[in-house]
Amino acid sequence: MGSPMASIFEKLWRLSAAAFVLKALFAAIAANGLLLAFILLRRAYRKRYFAKRDMRVYELRKRWDALISGEIPFESWRRNAFDREIVETIVLDAFEAAGPEESARLLKFLRASGLIEKRIFEARQLTGWRRTRALVALGRTRAPEGIPALAEGLRDLTLETRLAALRGLGRMASPQAAEEILAWLGEQGLTVPDLPLQSALLQCCVERPQLLLPHVQNAKGHLREVLGRVLGDVATPSLGSDLLQFVGDDLDELRAAAARAMSQSPSGLAHHVLNELARDPVWFVRLRAIVSLGKLSERRAIPALLRGLADSNRLVRLRAAEALVGLNTEMVPIFEQVVAAQDRYGLYAYLAALENADLRVQLETELQASTRVSEEDKKRLQNVLQVGRLPAEEPATVGSAIKSPAGQG
């Protein structure tokens, strides 16, 4: 039998544990009650806020033309943060679907009301998410005066802020914005993901792709590869002579850029350069070369285009077929060579291009009237054209190139 003192301590311990559990239960109930009250209060506040905002948007929309034209004084709404946010949101949303005239009118309104200057000030002075929000709004205005402030945002320590500034400069779609992005890359290197950078440069360098040339020449490593991709997409025939230096470059994208720029180059080397690039081991370089050969529209490109019909890549075959169909020359000799190649994939590509160009009847007429083709060969070619496949007695081969399953689709 235990001592009386031990039983007293045991009862006190049990009572203390029960009191602790009871207190914890009350605390949990109180916390849940407070959380529920907060949720209900917040829901009521947001409902009231959105109702108020909806009503104010309706009122402003009714007088929108007078508001934009300045007939309604800017002071009547600009000093009210609630109204100012609504007006700015409506204007920025309208930019997305506005034509040139409407965009000019909206930009004039933003300048006259001082909203652009306000966002420029915030983009330079604020920090954190407030600066990011100001940069996003400034980019959506597409106002050239915002470019310096956006360029400063590129040098922010926060990745999210840098991305907001980069996307804003991309929206500007101007060479000045491209110069700021390229200058920042020269200073800081690649400090953002590839895709946003490529997208921004593509939009900004379309007018002046030559801005990329010195940076591509001096860039190193992965940054050079990214800039090469951009140059490959924006290269124009005016850069033909400048891009000759990249014909033998180790970077695939730069060889593709050179191939694209040769499409209308006045240089006598264009055909020879494209003929070499059409044999490149990388499919998209061959694709660009074939497309450019088609744009040159010269008879001497026929051998390279026929070789493109036997390519392992489906897109290269299709573009080669389109180029052959688009040549301003007799169609029968080319069709003879397509059939003689005994490549069913090349034949399918050629016939598809013929149908898309609505030239099938013309080929049939030329074939019927041709005197240089024997009657036996003429019947064989007509049969291939009608049936859409090679004669059964001449089984198809895969051609000179080994086709991958993906390329044969």
- The predicted pLDDT at position 244 comes to 79
Nearest in space to 146 (alpha carbons), one of 158, 156, 134: 134
Per the DSSP assignment, residues forming a β-bridge with 343 are 397
Six token digits for residue 222: 């992965």
Q: Report which of 340, 331, 301, 336 is spatially closest to residue 319, judged by C-alpha positions.
A: 301
Query: What DSSP designation does 328 have?
Result: S
pLDDT at 245: 83
Burial 45-65 (b: 16+ CB within 10 A, else e): eeeeeeeeeeebeeebeeeee
Q: Tell me, what amino acid is at 215?
A: H
Query: CB 66: neighbour CB atoms within 10 A?
Result: 10
Q: Which residue has the tokens 């299709």?
A: 318
- Quote the tokens at residue 197: 């950078």
pLDDT means over runs of 10, the chain (409 residues): 57 61 80 91 91 90 89 88 91 89 92 93 94 95 94 94 96 94 92 93 92 89 88 79 82 85 70 89 92 87 90 92 88 86 88 88 83 79 80 48 39
Question: Which neighbouring-strand residues pair with 397?
Answer: 343
Longest CA pairwise span in the chain (Å)? 129
What is the Cα–Cα distance from 168 to 92, expressed in whole angstroms?
13
**Residue 153 to residue 172: CA distance in whole angstroms:** 15
290 in Cβ contact with 317 (< 8 Å):
no
How confident is the model at residue 10, as a pLDDT? 62
Is residue 310 within 8 Å of 401, Cβ to Cβ?
yes
Contact partners, residue 98, CB within 8 Å, separation at least 6: 106
The helix (H) or strand (E) run that includes residue 289 is: helix 283-296
Cβ-contact 277, 289 below 8 angstroms: yes
d(CA 28, CA 22): 10
Contact 372, 331 (CB under 8 A): no
How far is the C-alpha of 223 from the C-alpha of 302, rounded, in Å?
Answer: 37
**Rounded Cα–Cα distance for residues 112 and 114 (Å):** 6
180 contact partners, CB below 8 Å, separation of at least 6: 147, 148, 150, 151, 154, 169
The pLDDT of residue 264:
65
d(CA 275, CA 138): 47
3-state secondary structure of 370: coil
User: Would you state the structure tokens that stand for residue 124, as one six-digit string?
Assistant: 């330079």
